[in-house]
Amino acid sequence: MENSGELNDINSKLIDLELAKIDNKNSKVRRYLPAVVMVASLYYFFLWALGLALGYIGSKIFSKYLLESGKVDCIYIDCGKYKIHLHHWILGTLLLITAWVIDYFYLPRFFVGVVCGVIVHDIYDFNDWHKVFIKKEVE
């Protein structure tokens, strides 16, 4: 007998859910919410993608005209026998982490895209991106 009472409760809940679905079929929220979500997603993706492209291009120009010509030197930290080469993928990652910690709730997508573009440039265009610890030469 107890099972039939539980079964009736489950059946009545299922019927209520079905009735709720039927009542909401023609609501404006149900009709327009997917479109609003899609437009917002495309907007934020566009901002991120634009930032990514501009960050990559800007980093490529900086590298070509300033690093390769010797006007700007690479950043190294002296640690005894080794030097730590701070590639721009490391600096970009540290910048993103710092910005995320400082302003956890709001990190602009364009800013994230630009920094990701700098990170992608270093990893994609340089063969030594993974060489962080460099042994010093004996003088």
At 60-90, the pLDDT tens digits run 998 888 877 878 888 888 888 888 888 888 8
Contacts of residue 82, defined as CB under 8 A and 6 or more positions apart, other chains included, come to 133, 134, 135, 136
pTM score, two decimals? 0.67
* Cα–Cα dist 116/47, whole Å: 12
Domain extents in the chain: 2-135
Residue range 95-132, pLDDT digits in tens: 999 988 888 778 888 999 999 999 999 888 888 888 88
Q: For residue 53, count other CB atoms closer than 10 A to its CB.
A: 14
| Cβ-Cβ contacts under 8 Å for 53 (sequence gap 6 or more) | 113, 117
Of 4 and 9, the one with more pLDDT: 9
In sequence order, which residues have a C-beta less than 8 Å from that of residue 51 and are 6 or more positions away? 109, 110, 111, 112, 113, 114, 115, 116, 117
Query: How long is the chain?
Result: 139
Expressed in percent and rounded to 5, the helix, strand and coil fractions of the chain are 70, 10, 25
Query: What percent of the chain lies above the pLDDT cut of 70?
Result: 82
Amino acid at 47: L
